[in-house]
Amino acid sequence: MSRRTLSLVALLCATGTAGSLAAAQVPDETTPNYQISYPNYQYRVTAASIGDVDFRNLTVFWYRDDKSRRSAPLLNGTFEEKYADGGGEKVTVDLVQSVLLPGETRRRAVIDLLWRSCGGSCSDHGLVQIFELRSGHPTVVEQITYERHAPNTGATVDTGSRTLTVTGRSSEPSANCCPKSLDVMTFEWNGRELAFKSSKRVALADTP
């Protein structure tokens, strides 16, 4: 059975419930390059605590703004699929962090996925997903999508300041090979979600 077939089987088997997606904003070349959605997807698997969820061996999903989703059954933090035409996909877990934010009683998990898709060229997307347990089921409550086809991109969490920092490629016009700048974006926990707080644009040195 091919990995593409396995991916489809995993999508069909990892049944759960999903709410509506809502994009927070559509970036243009002058605004921070991110999108927020609220999948509210509940996995069928159960866990005693969010820290017991094995995120490196979980079928993860990319919840897209057209309400479709793509799946990747991870094995030890990685999924790779090669197509007959030479293209393919590779998904890697770059961050798994269980967090208990100041003033909160519910522990949550934050993961960051690097999702690479290749055809005629490659594109790299980052997916920060926030999980919490609902009735014992891990549930994706928020997703922040950003661009990672540039050096020094990724996400970090600071529990003390209740913030998430996401560094991604800006939407400033540039060739796919040669990013010009990064957006360093800060999101702050407001008691309900990680809400956008601020951003600064950082120029990159010339890239080949």
Average pLDDT estimate for 87-100 = 95
Q: What would the pLDDT profile of 107-126 be if each residue is shown by its tens digit?
A: 999 999 999 999 878 889 99
Write down the pTM of the prediction.
Answer: 0.85
- Residue 19 pLDDT exceeds 60: no
Least confident interval from 17-21, 55-59, 133-137, 151-155: 17-21
Higher-confidence position of 88 and 26: 88
What is the residue extent of each domain of the chain? 3-149
Average pLDDT estimate for 148-162 = 95
- Residue 25 pLDDT exceeds 70: no
Which residues face 132 on adjacent strands? 139
| Distance from C-alpha of 144 to C-alpha of 30, rounded to nearest angstrom | 18
The per-residue pLDDT of the chain, averaged, comes to: 87
- Residue 89's pLDDT band (cuts 50, 70, 90): very high
Give the H or E element holding residue 166: strand 163-169
Q: Which of 96, 93, 51 is nearest to 73 (CA)?
A: 93
Measured from the Cβ of residue 40, the count of other Cβ atoms closer than 10 Å reads: 18
> Coil, helix or strand for 193?
coil
Please calculate the CA angle 164-51-42 and round it to the nearest 5 degrees.
80
